Amino acid sequence: MNRKRQSEVVSKLMDALLPVFAVLAALAIGAVMLIILGANPIEAFGALLEGAFGSANALADTVVKATPLLLIGLGICISFRGNVINIGGEGQMIIGALMATALGLAFPEWPGLLMITLAMVVGFLGGAVWGGIPGALKAYFGVNEILSTIMMNAIAVQLMNFLLAGPMIDPVQAGKASKIPQTARLSNAFDLPRLIPTRLHLGALIAVILAVVVYILLWRTTLGYRIRAVGQNQDASRYAGIDVKRQVVLALLLSGAFAGLAGAIQVFGVNHRMITDGSATGFTGSAGFNGIVAALFGQLHPLGTIPASFLFGALLVGANKLQRVVQVPSAVITALNGLVVIFVVSSEIWRRRRETKRRTEATFEMEIEELHPPPAQDLTANEEGVS
Amino acid sequence: MTETQLLPSGKPIISQLEMLNITKRFPGVIANYKVNFDVRSGEVHALLGENGAGKSTLMKILYGLYQPEEGQIKLDGKEVSIHSPVDSIDLGIGMIHQHFMLVESLTVAENVALGLPSSRGFLTDLDKVSERILELAEIYGLQVDPEAYIWQLAVGQQQRVEIIKALYRGAALLILDEPTAVLTPQEVDEFFITMRQMIDDGHALIFISHKLHEVIEISHRVSVLRDGQMIGTIPTKGATKSKLAEMMVGREVGIKKDRFETDTSEKRLVLENVSALSNRGTPALTNVTLDVRSGEILGIAGVSGNGQRELAEVITGLRPVTGGKIILEGEDVTGLTPKQLMNRSLSYIPEERMKDGMIKEFTVAENLILREHDLEPFSKNGLLNLKTISAHSEKLITSYNVKTPSQETMAKNLSGGNIQKLVLAREISRKPHTLIAAQPTRGLDIGATEYVHLRLLEQREEGTATLLISEDLDEILALSDRIAVLFEGEVMGVLHQSEATPEKLGLLMAGVVE
């Protein structure tokens, strides 16, 4: 029994370390790529680590980069648990940012704290609307949410490009010939407070607190219970009297809301104005997609998404430094990111298989204990007598 | 065996097939352990066992779908290896699956020819196939029209097609996996005539069934498997139902249940001319008029697919009615949502418990509050009350004897019987005024079935009005106070328990009204 418990501890430990091994394996392949490109991998990864964690500033940048990933990841935890696939994080983030920015530009004289609070709320609501629309389309008209959320991304980008080039354009730019599509800088009073004298802002703290809130939402509230129930089995939910359509809308709406909040925080905490290069990535840095990866890496658990986002934030920040130091094409960074994702996701599948196997064995052992000693021996003799 | 005997189909007989010391393991489970089994030409050998006893594993090994880890298979004394159904068919082994393997939109001949090489290369040879089918039909007395489409055929006829399909492929030994489960009593009688003729002709038949009286009626020998081990093989002559049940379960099974007089004064659930459509938009229920009284069990008998599912769904608010009224405790509840009906003390044990009755990836505790998670005391102001939920599930696990490592175990890790106990616990512990139980024991073993029956009778005594939908006539007859028969969505008649016999019900189930 003791040995069994020991092996149990070992295999639990293995599970916990598995993602770490996966990252190391991905980096090992990355090292091969770097060698082929003529770069020294030790130097390169040294630069990556230094870029991500080397100083207070580096660490702060990592956390700042991780913040939108975490917020969007939290939304993903909700929608994926509800079996609703939200690929619209990019668009929802943009809409949240646009609405919060518009508010900030419209009332530059308002007190900072009031404006910050309201801007966060408005960003949250903007994302909720942008997520709620495909949610309602799915629930009531059967429109595939993967398609509709991607379409909504495209609409959001064009809306941003239009607004920043016209109605919301910085008056200074409006007078110039170049007309860079950007808004005016928001009032300094609206900047999110810095936590320490680095670029680290209040948004990171908000995101971590919200991770706990989402955890409570999913496992301690009736709403979370219903969303998870519908996500796992619509039939049983319907039979039990749960309004399935409503939960589908809510799951996508909440998911969008967190992305919208990420957008508002990105503007008020980092950029302090909106500017577009015509693409969504120009504003979001692909957080709408990377947030999905972070949430999956965190096993769709809000608390697991915190370290997962941090890891991806570190990769993004560290990779910039790596590229500068060893002078490799930026595609290497993208490839490195991809490798980490592939290895981590694969290791997760492997972990699940091991878990399933352990579970069936545990159940079996329980059943064995209940069984009476098998009567095979004497009855075989009996059988021979009969036939 | 000096000369090879031939079957009417022209194929050689299998005089004896032996499975020796067969062992098969699955991750964490020993499905078969040193099992010995044999069947001879001219006999029906029945294979009995509870769910999970290893019957289907053993038969799948024989049919080549699984490979045993140990043991050998001998055909007429010679060892053979069967790696796939192709091998077993070559050896003359055929299998009639419980769920027919027929393509509905194809004709009988096309289904029989499916997967076989054509004698004309790339062109079909359906005319030859049809000819051969008619020949076989003649020899075995299995009336089928080769040109008919499968969807046009009744279930009993479809089964004949399956048998012809096996005979066409030269089967000398047939594995019949619960062949009577889908038949009316009359169809079962016809089927038995076919079986008797086949053994007279020299076929060997393996008959798998849950129904002990059928086993006693048709088989020559019975083998009983329990927990993957062969408990014994006995001649059917002299075997009794209770003896066989005891061998299956490993203890004595009390079949006797006391029924007490109950107060049936209140018409608790009334259906007036209720009509509804099936998922395909065709009429599924037509002018159904029924009433279920307090303290009684109203059984709904009928062959599968005659509107039972729709009936349950209409009453529980899951399917809209296209006409008629539903009255619950004196109030018109037509068109109310499942939730509203549930709040009027209506409970429902759905037919497909794995799909509709519970959530596999939820814990036992979470599943137990599926219906009432948003009501006090399980939650307040939108927050779940985990302590109450935990205490509640602890209580139900004990009182309903659910075997689970803990209340935090995922429901998917429980056995079928324990999952049904879970659903029962959830639906009955609410002390419902009205209970709809759809196929509550389908797929359960004897022990679990017995348990469900006791709980249903207990509800009856507590005054619950129960609508029991079941395709198992024995169950209907054992539990019901009154029995209504559904045929093609219509109520063919309502019989009192004392006047109901399998024969009378069987005729009604086939749509025959005297």
CB within 8 Å: B356 and A239: yes
Domain boundary among B406, B427, B448: B427
Give tens-digit pLDDT for A188-222: 999 999 988 888 999 999 999 999 999 999 999 99
Question: Best of A217, A222, A300, A380 to disrupt the B interface by mutation (most B CBs within 10 Å)?
Answer: A222
> Which residues of A are less than 8 Å from B360 in CB distance?
232-233
B183, B284: one domain: no
> Which residues of A are less than 8 Å from B384 in CB distance?
219-222, 225
> Which residues of A are less than 8 Å from B227 in CB distance?
371, 374
Contact assessment for residue B456 and residue B437, using Cβ atoms and an 8 Å cutoff = yes
B85, B218: one domain: yes
Contact assessment for residue B48 and residue B225, using Cβ atoms and an 8 Å cutoff = yes
Reply yes or no on whether the pLDDT at B116 is more than 90: no
Query: For residue A374, is it within any domain?
Result: no
CB within 8 Å: A221 and B384: yes
Nearest CB among A240, A386, A387 relative to B370 is that of A240
Query: Of A64 and B417, which is predicted with more confidence?
Result: A64
Query: For residue A379, is it within any domain?
Result: no
**How close A117 comes to chain B (CA, Å)?**
25
pLDDT at B175: 95
CB within 8 Å: B338 and A360: no
CB within 8 Å: A239 and B348: yes
Query: For residue A54, is it within any domain?
Result: yes
Closest CA to A131 of A103, A94, A100: A94
SS3 per-residue string spanning B257-311: CCCCCCCCCCEEEEEEEEEEECCCCCEEEEEEEEEEECCCEEEEECCCCCCHHHH
Query: For residue A11, is it within any domain?
Result: no
Nearest CB among B360, B374, B405 relative to A233 is that of B360
Contacting B with CB below 8 Å, chain A residues are: 219-223, 225-226, 228-229, 232-233, 235-243, 357, 359-364, 366-367, 370-372, 374-376, 379-380, 382-383, 386-387
How far apart CA A244 and CA A230 sit, in angstroms, is 6
pLDDT at A372: 35
pLDDT at A1: 47
Q: How confident is the model at residue A122 (pLDDT cuts 50, 70, 90)?
A: very high
pLDDT at B4: 65
B213, B313: one domain: no
Query: For residue A384, is it within any domain?
Result: no
Closest CA to B42 of B217, B176, B199, B235: B199
- Strand order, beta sheet including B267-277: B283-293, B267-277, B323-328, B331-332
Q: How confident is the model at residue A373 (pLDDT cuts 50, 70, 90)?
A: very low
B384, B292: one domain: no
- Only one residue has tokens 């198992």, namely B472
> Which residues of B are less than 8 Å from A357 in CB distance?
27-28
- Domain interval for residue B404: 358-427
Q: What is the mean pLDDT of residues A139-162?
A: 96
B263, B334: one domain: yes
**How close B394 comes to chain A (CA, Å)?**
18
Q: What chain B residue is nearest to A222 in terms of C-alpha separation?
A: B382
Long-range contacts of A160-169 (CB under 8 A, 24+ apart): A160/A94, A160/A98, A160/A274, A160/A276, A160/A283, A161/A276, A161/A278, A163/A98, A164/A274, A164/A275, A164/A276, A165/A276, A168/A98, A168/A101, A168/A102, A168/A105, A168/A274
CB within 8 Å: B28 and A238: no
Query: For residue B170, is it within any domain?
Result: yes
Total of domains in chain A: 1
Query: For residue B461, is it within any domain?
Result: yes
What lies within 8 Å, CB to CB, of A347 at 6+ separation is A18, A19, A21, A22
Query: For residue B9, is it within any domain?
Result: no
CB within 8 Å: A370 and B29: no
pLDDT at A2: 58
B448, B469: one domain: yes
> Which residues of A are less than 8 Å from B374 in CB distance?
222, 226
Total of domains in chain B: 3
Query: For residue B3, is it within any domain?
Result: no
What lies within 8 Å, CB to CB, of A99 at 6+ separation is A122, A123, A125, A126, A260, A264
B302, B374: one domain: no
CB within 8 Å: B229 and A239: no
B/e letters for A218-229, b = 16+ CB within 10 Å, e = fewer, are: bbbbbbbbbbbb
Give tens-digit pLDDT for B134-183: 998 888 888 889 999 998 888 888 888 999 999 998 899 999 988 887 78
Query: For residue A276, is it within any domain?
Result: yes
DSSP state of B429: T
B220, B172: one domain: yes
Nearest CB among A232, A363, A387 relative to B359 is that of A232
B206, B313: one domain: no
How far apart CA A59 and CA B106 sit, in angstroms, is 68
CATH code (residue B274): 3.40.50.300
Give tens-digit pLDDT for B454-512: 999 999 999 999 999 998 888 899 999 999 999 999 999 999 988 998 889 988 988 88
Q: What chain B residue is nearest to A217 in terms of C-alpha separation?
A: B383
Calculate helix-pair angle for A56-81, A244-266, nearest 10 degrees: 160
Give tens-digit pLDDT for A305-362: 999 999 889 988 888 888 888 888 877 877 887 888 788 778 877 877 777 666 555 5
Query: For residue B10, is it within any domain?
Result: no
For CA atoms B3, B4, B7, B9, give the dihedral sign. Answer: negative
Query: For residue A313, is it within any domain?
Result: yes
CATH code (residue A77): 1.10.3470
DSSP labels, A281-304: HHHHTTHHHHHHHHHHHTTT-HHH
Domain boundary among B380, B396, B427: B427
> Which residues of B are less than 8 Å from A221 in CB distance?
379, 382-384
CB within 8 Å: A220 and B383: yes
CB within 8 Å: B233 and A226: no
Q: What chain A residue is nearest to B373 in terms of C-alpha separation?
A: A222
pLDDT at B401: 86
B238, B286: one domain: no
Q: How confident is the model at residue B255 (pLDDT cuts 50, 70, 90)?
A: low
Q: Are strands B490-496 and B482-487 parallel, antiparallel or unpaired?
A: antiparallel
B111, B207: one domain: yes
CB within 8 Å: A226 and B373: yes
CB within 8 Å: A236 and B342: no
How far apart CA B425 and CA B362 sit, in angstroms, is 16
Give tens-digit pLDDT for A231-249: 999 999 999 999 999 999 9
> Which residues of A are less than 8 Å from B411 in CB distance?
none
How far apart CA B155 and CA B32 sit, in angstroms, is 32
Query: For residue B2, is it within any domain?
Result: no
> E-assigned strands of chain A?
none
Reply yes or no on whether the pLDDT at A375 is more than 60: no
Domain boundary among B390, B407, B427: B427
Reply yes or no on whether the pLDDT at A387 is more than 50: no
- Domain interval for residue A151: 23-35+43-365
Paired residues of B205 in beta bridges: B44, B174
pLDDT at A361: 58
Query: For residue B265, is it within any domain?
Result: yes
